[in-house]
Amino acid sequence: MKETALCPRLAKAMELVGKRWTALIIYQLLEGPQRFNAIESALPISGRLLSERLKELEKEGLVERKMFSEVPIRVEYSLTEKGQSLEGAVREIEKWSQQWT
């Protein structure tokens, strides 16, 4: 059988977005900036795993973490321009899932 070389950029994108909960976190943040607790309440995910995924998304430049100098300190997460650019793909997958799953 002949082996086909995969597109490395597509492979990297699928590896990132295909991780468990990542696409749903992005979907949740499409609604706008949110605090950690709001994201955690909206998804059936542990706080530890959510924190890990948000750090990965921040490292990849898809999510921005903003701290506010308040007492207690308030932290909000939002999609960057790069993260927002995934909206079309996420919405298309949402449409597909409504029709086929």
We report the CATH number of the domain holding residue 36 as: 1.10.10.10
Does residue 4 sit within a domain? no
Does residue 1 sit within a domain? no
36: CB partners within 8 A, 6+ apart = 47, 50, 51, 54, 75, 77
Does residue 81 sit within a domain? yes
- pLDDT for 2: 53
- pLDDT for 1: 46
- pLDDT for 4: 52
- pLDDT for 8: 85
Does residue 80 sit within a domain? yes
- pLDDT for 60: 96
- pLDDT for 5: 66
Domain count, the chain: 1
| pLDDT < 70 positions in the chain | 1-5
Query: What φ, ψ does residue 72 adopt, rounded to 5°?
Result: -70, 160
| 3-state SS, residue 72 | coil
Domain holding 47, by residue range, is 9-100
